[in-house]
Amino acid sequence: MSAGLKEKIVTSRIYRNYSRMWPYVKPVWFRALCSMLICIPIGSLDAVIALALKPYMDLVMVEKSISSPWYIPIAIVAFTSLQGGLKYISAYLTTWVGNKISNGLKRDLFKKLLTFETAFYDKRNSGDVVFQFNNMAEGACSGLLSNISIFLQRIFSSVSLIFVLFYNSWQLAILATVVLGCALAPVAKLREKIKAVFDKSVIVDSAIITEYNEVFAGNKTVTSYNLAKKEIAKFNNILDSIFKLRIKITQRTQWLSPMMHVIVSIGIAGAIWYGSHLIMTTQITPGNFVSFITALIMLYTPIKSLGNNFSAVQLSFFMIEGVFDNLELEPKIKDKENAIIMPSEYNCIKYNNVYFEYNPGVPVLKNIELVINKGKTVAFVGNSGGGKTTTVNLLPRFYDINSGSITIDDVDIRDFTLESLRQNIAVVFQDNFLFTGSIRDNIMLGKEDATCEEFEKALQMAYLNEFVQTLPNGVDTVIGERGILLSGGQKQRVAIARAFLKNAPIIILDEATSALDNKAEAIVQKAIDNLMKDKTVLVIAHRLSTIRNADIIVVINEGQIVEKGSHEELMQIENGAYRTLYDMQFKRQEGVGV
């Protein structure tokens, strides 16, 4: 690709991203405009000091015609104070506007994040999500706005100072401007040099967040396997990578400022040399010269740091590009255009010749055929990794199937709105997620507007009453992040109460495999029995009682249904999969009366 074409693509991309920024800037446009306009006086006031030096030099130092130039120091202090006040307002406005814009972006990014299907989360780690959906929005806006503001202030400052240069001596001014041009030239090359390093730093910045999250969530595993050393080594590796990238960015950008420094000093040296000649030949006054040199130093100072300013602006550009790339992502599972509301009254759920794969070319479910009539209980059993969880996950569309169809009363579930489909299904997972907050908060998630009676009933049906009474604040006891303060069985029952309150006609239940003690197990079982009453239930069963009472038992091995029927029917099959499984796993339990 030619350099010109590449440049064009980059420019049009930047333009597109900026035009896409407009909806976020629009609500705050007035303050945004003020924050930019205020840069004009801030920048221009720089010229006042330089300008004031000419009459001071000429009238006081050289001609000694004014004995007490009281107004010049006062004017300098007054204008500088004014400039200081304006700078404060400018900082306030850019922070205000920048945060409003980044909040708008973050809100939309978060909304977008919640539309993604399960597979999106499967493929990412938490650090990526936090970095790309939060930190990048932050960096994009706050960094950009303050940098644009600084940039504008410097532009106006430069324009006014260049005016002072020309006012004092056009010959010297031309010399200074040429040097200025040379100093600015390398800045243009900087973008590509930073981009590659930036892309890598996104990866390691995400990795460090993931590391913190994993150490937090997996602290028990870390402790019990004595993984501290290993985690520290991993952390050190990430820190080293970050260190190397930071150094690389410095190597690629920080040569700019010192180089400009040198070019600028050549400019100043040239001005002094040529300026002395102009004074000697009385083409300019000493006042002109001092005012000129002051303006020149003031002009070059911001230009010397323009390299830093420019690389910061570039980083903001990359972040904006990243943010809009994320906003452009479309969820793969979403409502069809003419999606209909799923009725809560229905008769039959059917899996028709369903094929599914998580990764292309690796089929996980093959030819699943299943009919589940209203009010019936289907129990899924089979080898670990056989595809039980996957089969039930397809019904609420956590994943979409590859071929075949799943229908409810002959309507494909993909024709229903996701919201109505999921409203009709309550899921109790193998490992239930509880949110930070109280037991009440967590149960009420099932139905936000539940009445006190409904809530009490859910509590009772999940056999939580007795336990809750022992807590200091009853149902309002805070249970910690992920419900950490509850036991496994208690957590399960909170999840069951939540599902109970939702009162959906279809229940999906992934029974926890982790063995609870007999008493806890019996209580959870009773709670589950209550939840299943009068519902259509898809249960991945590990408990013998659940399996025996199911209307249909489906044995899934290696992604295929190998047997289907009632307990009695399946036990009739000599060397059948269910019978073998039953003999292996359940006979012993039955013998001890569980």
Residue from 389, 407, 420, 423 touching Mg ion (CB under 5 A): that is 389
563, β-bridge pairs: 555
Rg value, the chain, Cα: 35
# chain residues binding Mg ion, by CB under 5 A: 1
Q: State in angstroms the smallest separation of the CB of 152 from Mg ion.
A: 58
Q: State in angstroms the smallest separation of the CB of 408 from Mg ion.
A: 23
CB atoms within 10 A of CB 411: 14
Contact between 510 and 430 under an 8 Å Cβ cutoff? The reply is yes
Q: Give residue 184's identity as a one-letter amino acid code.
A: L
Q: Copy the structure tokens of residue 216.
A: 């937090």
Binding marks (x or -) toward Mg ion, 324..363, rule CB under 5 A? Answer: ----------------------------------------
Q: State in angstroms the smallest separation of the CB of 541 from ligand ATP.
A: 10
If contact means CB under 5 to 8 A according to the sort of partner, which of ligand ATP, Mg ion, none does residue 307 touch? Answer: none
Contact between 39 and 152 under an 8 Å Cβ cutoff? The reply is yes
At 141, phi and psi to the nearest 5? Answer: -85, -55
For the chain, the straight-line distance linking the first and the last C-alpha, in angstroms and rounded, comes to 72
- For residues 389 and 460, which CB has a smaller minimum distance to ligand ATP in the complex? 389
- For residues 166 and 398, which CB has a smaller minimum distance to ligand ATP in the complex? 398
If contact means CB under 5 to 8 A according to the sort of partner, which of Mg ion, ligand ATP, none does residue 386 touch? Answer: ligand ATP
- For residues 363 and 505, which CB has a smaller minimum distance to ligand ATP in the complex? 363
CA distances from 223 to 215, 217, 220, 237 (A): 10, 12, 5, 20
Q: Give the interface with ligand ATP as residue ranges (CB under 6 A).
A: 122, 358, 364, 382, 384-390
∠ CA 37-40-41, rounded to 5°: 110
- For residues 389 and 477, which CB has a smaller minimum distance to Mg ion in the complex? 389
Q: Copy the structure tokens of residue 240.
A: 């080293």
Contact between 481 and 437 under an 8 Å Cβ cutoff? The reply is no
At 508, phi and psi to the nearest 5? Answer: -115, 130
* Number of alpha carbons in the 13 Å side-chain half-sphere of residue 104: 18
At 369, phi and psi to the nearest 5? Answer: -120, 125
Q: State in angstroms the smallest separation of the CB of 380 from ligand ATP.
A: 8
- For residues 176 and 365, which CB has a smaller minimum distance to Mg ion in the complex? 365
- For residues 387 and 446, which CB has a smaller minimum distance to ligand ATP in the complex? 387
Q: State in angstroms the smallest separation of the CB of 513 from Mg ion.
A: 8
Q: State in angstroms the smallest separation of the CB of 564 from ligand ATP.
A: 16
- Answer yes or no whether residue 118 interacts with Mg ion by CB under 5 A: no
- For residues 102 and 390, which CB has a smaller minimum distance to ligand ATP in the complex? 390
Judged by CB under 5 A, the stretch of 119-127, 219-227, 339-347, 382-390 that binds Mg ion is 382-390
∠ CA 425-374-430, rounded to 5°: 40
Q: State in angstroms the smallest separation of the CB of 368 from Mg ion.
A: 15
Q: State in angstroms the smallest separation of the CB of 406 from Mg ion.
A: 18
DSSP-based three-state secondary structure for 550: coil
- For residues 38 and 509, which CB has a smaller minimum distance to ligand ATP in the complex? 509
Positions that interact with Mg ion (CB under 5 A): 389
